[in-house]
Amino acid sequence: MEQPYSSTARPQPTTEPQAPPPRALVGLERKCRAAGWTVEVRATDGEAQLTVSGRVRDPETSSAAQVKATWRLSSGSLRWAGGQLLRNGVLVRSNLSWTTTTELIDRGTASLLDPAAELQGVTRHGRTRAEWEQAVQQHALTARSAFEHGVQVHGAMEAAAETICGVAWARVAEAATGAVHHRLGRRAAAVQAIVRTARREQADDSGAPRAFDLAMRARALAGACERDAEHLDECVLAAEAEAHLAPYLEQVLAEQSAREAAWREEHPDGDAEQFASQVLGAFRYPAQDFALWWDTHDGPTSTFTEGWDLMHKQDPPHGETTASLRIGDQTHREIINLGILAAGHLRTAGGADQAPRAQELMAQASSGAALFEPGARRGMHSAADAASRVWALLAGRSVRTGGRHLRAADDLDELAPWLEVEATSASAAGVRRLLLMSHALSVRSRARYEQP
């Protein structure tokens, strides 16, 4: 019989009894405590969490590691809900499986720092004095290698007599890098001084902290030496690239001036807006803005093109933009042509193992060459994509891995083998020249935007 409703009746509490901790949690807690981890267990009615914390060795120093393992109540029992990994308080990985979580703890145990040894100075960041002294030696080798490379580069510049279009580019690079070369020498000498200090203090009872300080100073100096050596390479490359670009750019500017002179002769009453739209290819509103700028400046320049560059002085000059477009198109064409020549070389001299590569290279290069035939229709990026595929095959990679690199030096390294092949050397030299000119434009652009 149904009970009558009573306003004074109160529902009885229905709290679910707390489930016992899972055996996996108990076993993992015992294991982590025995290994030296700091362990914290937090249990509520619907969740249990085990947190293990400690400092572990890193490649250079150490970091605070924390692993959280969580179980949640499901169907009357606590079940695995996932793990988390934190480094220095920042969440690195989450939703980890039980196996992955325990593997992370095991790997961390192998590099777990001993707090007592750290406090007594026996170790620093988990390494003994002998280990830090070995690190000093490794950093010294790095600095010495960078210094020797710098000496080699600077010596090559001093001996170079080659000129490009009358420009002694090596002399320009030598003058630009003299200060960097001397700084590299001073830094390398400072690292050697640290090595001598570490050797003198081996007999002292200075402990791991002092050796760690020496290793960190040596590491900072060695890194600076490597950056100086890279800067030397960049300066040499930039000087050679600029020597190639300068005469090419002069030719483009001469054509640009001739085109404006011809337009002015054909349109004696033409104004700035008409020139910008008809010759420079500007859209309607930028052309109108240029006309307004031109009219409000008292004879700013002798040509419309110079005025356009003056108005847009924060952007690359129109001549550089034109040169960049031409160089890009020529580079794609020359890479594809090099691919055809390289495929022929691989067919005749590469052997049977190079036959598949030669076949694919020829197919890709022929497909790209068809884009440059008269009357061929090209999409916006079709030539660049075709050249990218050919480049990947020239470098011995799959077309799926992409083409050229972001750094010009990496592209030149991949191109170098084809400069040594008689059948492809002339074409590869042409590609190298175009890559250098493109790099020179990039250097100019960076310098422009880095100016205060």
Q: What is the pTM of this model?
A: 0.72
pLDDT of residue 219: 95
Which of 17, 21, 26, 28 is CA-nearest to residue 72? 21
pLDDT of residue 451: 64
Share of the chain above pLDDT 70, in %: 90
Does the structure show a pLDDT above 70 at 168? no
Q: At what angle do helices 169-200 and 207-266 cross, to 10 degrees?
A: 170
Q: pLDDT (tens digit, 9 = 90+) per residue, 337-363? A: 999 999 999 988 877 888 889 999 999
Average pLDDT value over all residues in the chain: 86
pLDDT of residue 200: 86
Does the structure show a pLDDT above 60 at 299? no
Question: Looking up tokens 């079709």, which residue turns up?
Answer: 382
Residue 225: pLDDT band (50, 70, 90) is very high
Residue 6: pLDDT band (50, 70, 90) is very low
440 close to 248: Cβ distance less than 8 angstroms: no
Residue 108: pLDDT band (50, 70, 90) is very high
pLDDT of residue 166: 58
Does the structure show a pLDDT above 50 at 8? no
347 close to 338: Cβ distance less than 8 angstroms: no
Q: Which amino acid is it at 339? A: G
Helix H or strand E encompassing 242: helix 207-266
Residue 11: pLDDT band (50, 70, 90) is very low
Does the structure show a pLDDT above 80 at 172? no
Does the structure show a pLDDT above 80 at 136? yes
Q: At what angle do helices 207-266 and 304-311 cross, to 10 degrees?
A: 150
CB atoms within 10 A of CB 148: 12
Highest mean pLDDT among 194-203, 271-280, 303-312, 385-394: 385-394
**Token code pair at residue 383:** 């030539």
pLDDT of residue 179: 84
pLDDT of residue 420: 94
Mean pLDDT of 68-88: 91
Q: Worst-scoring range by mean pLDDT, 3-7, 275-279, 301-305?
A: 3-7
Does the structure show a pLDDT above 50 at 14? no
Q: Which residues contact 123 (CB under 8 A, 6 or more apart)?
A: 113, 114, 117, 208
pLDDT of residue 1: 40
Q: pLDDT (tens digit, 9 = 90+) per residue, 18-33? A: 556 788 999 999 999 9
Q: Which residues contact 239 (CB under 8 A, 6 or more apart)?
A: 169, 170, 172, 173, 176
pLDDT of residue 16: 47
pLDDT of residue 205: 67
- Cα(353)–Cα(349) distance, rounded to whole angstroms? 11
Share of the chain above pLDDT 90, in %: 49
Does the structure show a pLDDT above 70 at 12? no
pLDDT of residue 176: 73
Does the structure show a pLDDT above 50 at 330? yes
Does the structure show a pLDDT above 70 at 53? yes
Q: Which amino acid is it at 215? A: A
Does the structure show a pLDDT above 90 at 170? no
